Structure 1
Amino acid sequence: MRKFSVFFLLIIVIISCKKESDLSKEFDCDYEGLSNLKTYSDFKNNFKIHIPTSWKTTKYYSDVQSEIFTADTLKQLTETYILKTSYALGSLNFDTDFYQKTDSIIHQNNLKKIKSGTTTFIELPTFWYVVKGEKNGFSYHQFNLISKKGDLAYFTASVEIYGDLNVNERICESLALLEKIEFLQ
């Protein structure tokens, strides 16, 4: 009987250790993550992200924004994705004006919103959406995440996905990277 109790307790611990985020649930992700990761900090030390060592990664900054761009350039464009993460200064309010501006940008770029929602991402209020269209002669999907980091700062992530194969899997893989972001401020 004691062995059964220990086994049962072990199963409960294993199940509870893997806490799936709301976004992972939304996309029905069953993804463990990538390996051989290197830690990158943005130029202004606002956040750290863990990216595979074989990926091409570049950084950019201005007075109000700090960005990291990355992609697996060893794969074909229609088999990978381009991930852009950014920390910016400015106020952000998820109000009617925000949603109207977002919809206007989507419309101006001839994209169609597939799904969207609000959630808490890394303990931050977040709006996310997925759009579809055509870009550079390819079918194109984009996953966007916008998180309010405080009264005067916000975090964004954009995942560009070319082609129609394994779109959900590529979103899940990018979420596995994004969910491990560490904010430094």
Structure 2
Amino acid sequence: MKIYQVIIAASLLFLSCNNKSEISKDFNCKTAAFPNLEEIVDVKKLFSVQFPKTWKTQLYYDAVQSSIFTADTTKQLTETMLLDITFINKKSIFDTTFKLKEEQESLSKKLIQTKTKETKLLKKPAFYTLSKGLKGKFTYQVCKAFIKINEENFILAKVEVYGDSLVNQRLCNAFTLIDKIKIID
């Protein structure tokens, strides 16, 4: 009887480890583990995220949006990522006009889009872009994921990565944290 329990537990562990988001699959991410996570709720109590307790986190809000911004300030800028999760109260359709506007915004910041895709995040329709460029003296990549919550709201999860070292791994670490977003009803 005990052997069956071990087999079932191992199977569940294997399946949970392979339950990656579509964006994580697109970037060939390996599962990342973060110790000492704490739940942070935005000012308007619209969503929560889990970030490591040691990271520096700031909250922001105005009439249209509510944001949680975080970074691991114990590391150099070229060794970490900046992560900004913003709940936006604005109707949005991920159509051609929306995508062209995003590309124009990237170009205005001297960034070139290298990847775009419609997908699902948090079991919701989503669209993401990955853009590259220079910011100051560093190479710079920004991934923006737009997650449609309902007809009137969406979440923008933005990851910024500076430098050339372990870029994909740092993006994947951010996706692991983005997958932990919870919408508060």
1:99 aligns with 2:102: no
Which residue identity does 1:157 align to in structure 2?
A
- For 2:176 and 2:71, the matched residues in 1 are separated by 14
Partner residue in 1 for 2:112: 112
Q: How many residues align?
A: 184
For residues 107-146 of structure 1, the C-alpha deviation after alignment (integer angstroms, 9 at most, x for no partner) is 1111111112111101110001111000122110111100
Which residue identity does 1:12 align to in structure 2?
S
- Report deviation, 1:5: 6.2
Partner residue in 2 for 1:15: 14
- For 2:73 and 2:3, the matched residues in 1 are separated by 49
Percent of residue pairs identical: 34
Gaps of 5+ in 2: none
Listed as ranges, the matches of 1:153-168 within 5 Å are 153-168=153-168
Whether contact under 8 Å (1:134, 1:140) holds in the other structure is yes
- Report deviation, 1:93: 0.2
Partner residue in 1 for 2:124: 124
- For 2:33 and 2:13, the matched residues in 1 are separated by 17
- For 1:141 and 1:166, the matched residues in 2 are separated by 12
- Report deviation, 1:81: 1.0
- Report deviation, 1:17: 2.3
For residues 42-80 of structure 1, the C-alpha deviation after alignment (integer angstroms, 9 at most, x for no partner) is 110111011111111111100110011110111000000
- For 1:15 and 1:44, the matched residues in 2 are separated by 37
- For 1:81 and 1:177, the matched residues in 2 are separated by 11
Gaps of 5+ in 1: none
Which residue identity does 1:20 align to in structure 2?
K
Q: How does the TM-score come out when normalised to structure 2? A: 0.93
- Report deviation, 1:14: 2.7
- Report deviation, 1:7: 5.8
Let me know the Cα RMSD of the aligned residues: 1.6
Whether contact under 8 Å (1:126, 1:148) holds in the other structure is yes
Q: Structure 1 residues 17 and 109 mapped into 2: Cα distance closer, same or farther (>3 Å)?
A: same
- For 2:51 and 2:9, the matched residues in 1 are separated by 31
Listed as ranges, the matches of 1:4-153 within 5 Å are 9-18=8-17, 19-153=19-153
